[in-house]
Amino acid sequence: MSAIRIGHPSPLGASVTKAGVNFSVVAPLATRVELLLFASGSAREPEQVIELDPRHRSGDHWHVEVLGVGLGCCYGYRVFGPLQPGGHGFNPSKVLLDPCARAITGWDVYERLQAVGAIPNTATCLKGVVTERDRFDFEAAPRPRHPWQTSLIYELHVGGFSRGPDCGVAPERQGTLLGLIDRLPYLQDLGITAIELLPVMAFDPQDAPIGRYNHWGYSPLSWFAPHPTYLVSDEPLQARQEVRQLVSAAHQAGLEVILDVVYNHTSEGNQAGPTLSWRGLADGHYYHQNSRGDYLDVSGCGNSIAANRPLARRLILESLRCWAIELGIDGFRFDLGIALARGEELMPLDMPPLFEEMEADPDLSDLKLISEPWDCGGLYRLADFPAQRVAAWNGRFRDDLRRFWKGDERCAWLLGQRLAGSPDLYGGQPAPLGRQITFLTAHDGFTLADLVSYDRKHNLANGENDRDGDNHNNSWNHGVEGPSSDGAIEALRQRQLRNLLTTLLLAPGVPMLLMGDEVRRSQGGNNNTWCQNNPLGWMHWQPDADDLALMDFLKRLINLRQTLAPLLNPEIPLASAPPSGPRDHGLAWREWHGVDLHKPDWASWSHSLAWSLADFRRGPLLWCGMNAYYQPMNFSLPLAPPGWLRVINTGLPSPQDLPAQPQPWSEPQVCLAGRSLALMVAAPLLQGVDLDGSRP
């Protein structure tokens, strides 16, 4: 039996000392705590139980130093205290996972249902594993630190990206962090600057309908440990090193790594859910509850983390530091992030303490921070998101672009606002640089290909009778639901894909692309593949000629955006009219047009819009016309003394729609086919530019 000492309350979790391991866990209202040491992850009973008496308590912390143990030690806790109906969830029949465990074992014996009720779960529990806490080697692989203005995010699922036929990854590495390394050259070639990974923190795969698997990972079991199925090695002590290998390879490839993190709820669900970790230690501190002890839910998952309270807040900040400093992660995207800005009784806070501390923390202050500005309780704060260094997903951008190209009415003016940086949503000024993420699609919803191929969701495969998933997608099948052999329908869909992508990448903001949109990845009309660990949720690695043509279009479009990035900076003041006097001669200006110059049609029935950028010294620089009407229209062009280059015309067949070498254009007008877009660029701006990759 291992000898023990009193130990120390800090650091939280299990940390190696000169003589053994120090264990520290928070349980404010507990009356007794037991530390259980297991011989292995699959052990059904502990080989030693260490009872912590009051000498091992410092305030809310219970701690002990166990001598003679070290890295790889497997452990859990039993916590005793009052079990009040609907109140504090002390349940000593359950072995609890340390919320700060940096590695987890016991997956081969884990049973979620055994953690419900009063039945002991000792034989089927997960265990924490003692690991190192080394810092990431930033000297060998420094952060790329791309500025927001040139950032382009690609959202992907680790388990689905490097998997399937022709993925080019060895079978044992498919669907893993190391398998993703093998596909980094593909992402480099595409031109993106950051990968945003759906949750990779350990989640509960059994939190799904019977016969299904939780694929997306929005059911956290831990905020510190990597998820085991994304690892090649079965050895828990290798888990963190595999994360570092991915991050290091990404940094060396010039790519930032952003994690989608779920701090708004846990896999423990509501009062009837399992007792796995947080609930059994301090549920009244970690979870929002009413006066009866019932869980309050604005996550849609049964519980909501009380991030306004010190213990929960400290745990989240510890987790962020772990991934950022120990594992090298470059940024975080907060799932339902505005839920973390709720205070007691779920009241919204203008100065939420979590974000205040995050922005003041020197270890976190220079990371890319992104959030969803909504939660399931109806709170939606975009321009007034209560953290000035957090970029918010602009859902209005997504919806208004979809509706305009779908042909809905009352959309022309809204599209103009989105192209101007959404001043209608940000107090009359464009969204500041780094404050909005613009996107068309994300994991939650239709893929881009399905957006133009389905009028409604098709989610029966999820086993919930098509009740799950959003019913309001602003999608259009263009005549036939799903795949079509009609050449005219397919041609129109191809054009719409290009219209949508071009509009996204010509707008101010930080654009985000969804995994596989560049090759028309389809989910068969399923807009919620959260439990589809199969080709529906995997990357498309067998592209046909049309898929490859779209990818070539997007590559050139990304290169074009990077070339024009200075003109698309929302922080450059743009006047609304040409200069009227010498004082204005340093200004650039944007003008709105219709088919005729200077005559935009903002009427509710309008389906067209044109805009131009110019400055006093160089004259017109850009002109873009957008025709969402089903008939062709002739648009007048402003006079550009250096001459125009026709860079994009989505009404033309590929690859003429966006050629590597843009074509000179001398006509005073351009005819836009129904549902098409054209972009003209002043010739000097693209002098020496090859849109297949090289820029001056």
Whether 426 and 306 map to the same domain: the answer is yes
DSSP class of residue 416 equals: H
CATH of the domain at 656: 2.60.40.1180
Give the CATH number for residue 284.
Answer: 3.20.20.80
Q: How many domains does the chain have?
A: 3
Q: 152: helix, coil or strand?
A: coil
Question: How far is C-alpha 63 from the chain's CA centre?
Answer: 36
Residue 121: closest CA among 45, 231, 64: 45
Task: For residues 33 and 167, state if they share a domain.
Answer: no
Share of the chain residues as helix, strand and coil, in percent rounded to the nearest 5: 25, 20, 55
Question: Are 238 and 331 members of one domain?
Answer: yes
pLDDT of 274 > 80? The answer is yes
Task: Average the pLDDT over 336-358 and give the result.
Answer: 96
What does the pLDDT read at residue 695? Answer: 44
**pLDDT value at 557 more than 50:** yes
* Residues 558 and 585 reside in one and the same domain: no
Burial class (CB in 10 A: 0-12, 13-18, 19+), 256: buried
Least confident window among 65-69, 88-92, 517-521: 88-92
- pLDDT of 574 higher than 90: no
- 3-state SS class at 35: strand
Give me the mean pLDDT over the 434-447 stretch.
97
Q: 10 Å Cβ neighbour count for 595?
A: 17
In a domain, 139, yes or no: no
pLDDT higher than threshold 50 for residue 211: yes
Name the more confident of 416 and 585: 416
> 513, 533, 566 — which closes off a domain?
566
478 pLDDT band, cuts 50/70/90, is: very high
Catalytic status, residue 372: yes
pLDDT of residue 436: 96
Query: So what's the pLDDT on residue 435?
Result: 95
**In the 8-state DSSP scheme, what is residue 432?**
P
Share of the chain above pLDDT 90, in %: 90
Asked if residue 691 is part of any domain, the answer here is no
Distance CA 49, CA 36 (A): 5
Residues 362 and 468 in one domain: yes
Are 223 and 281 within one domain?
yes
Does residue 402 share a domain with residue 417?
yes
The mean pLDDT of 13-42, rounded to a whole number, is 97
On whether both 101 and 184 belong to a single domain, the answer is no
What is the distance between the alpha carbons of residues 313 and 172, in angstroms, rounded to a whole number? 38
Per annotation, catalytic residue among 335, 375, 591, 615: 335
Last residue of a domain, one of 536, 566, 596: 566
pLDDT bin (cut points 50, 70, 90) of residue 292 is: confident
Q: What is the mean pLDDT of residues 446-455?
A: 98
pLDDT at 583 exceeding the cut of 60: no
Q: Are residues 487 and 620 in the same domain?
A: no
Question: Is 134 domain-assigned?
Answer: no
Q: Are residues 499 and 637 in the same domain?
A: no
Write down which residue in 516, 531, 566 finishes a domain.
566
Between strands 61-67 and 4-5, the pairing is: antiparallel
**Average pLDDT of the chain to the nearest whole number:** 95
Burial 95-119 (b: 16+ CB within 10 A, else e): bbbbbbbbbbbbbebbebebbbeee
Whether residues 111 and 199 fall in one domain: no
Residue 141 belongs to a domain: no
Tell whether 26 is covered by a domain: yes
Catalytic residue of the set 242, 372, 375, 400: 372
Tell me which of 80-84, 104-108, 335-339, 641-645 is least confident: 80-84
Quickly list DSSP for 285-319.
HHB-B-TT-PBP-SSSSS--B-TTSHHHHHHHHHH
Q: What CATH code is carried by the domain that includes residue 44?
A: 2.60.40.10
* pTM of the entire predicted model: 0.97
- Which pLDDT score is estimated for 696? 41
Render pLDDT for 144-186 as a digit per residue (tens, 0 to 9). Answer: 999 999 999 999 999 999 998 899 999 999 999 999 999 999 9
Task: Please tell me the least confidently modeled range out of 204-218, 395-409, 506-520.
Answer: 204-218
| Per-residue pLDDT band at 585 (split at 50, 70, 90) | low
The pair of three-digit structure tokens given for residue 192, joined into one six-digit string: 């993106």
What mean pLDDT comes out for the span 344-370? Answer: 94
Averaged pLDDT, 17-37: 97
Contact, 307 vs 223, CB < 8 A?
no
The pLDDT of 487-493, averaged and rounded, is: 97
Q: Range of 104's domain?
A: 4-129
Q: Are residues 538 and 636 in the same domain?
A: no
Instruction: Please indicate whether residue 466 is annotated as part of the active site.
Output: no
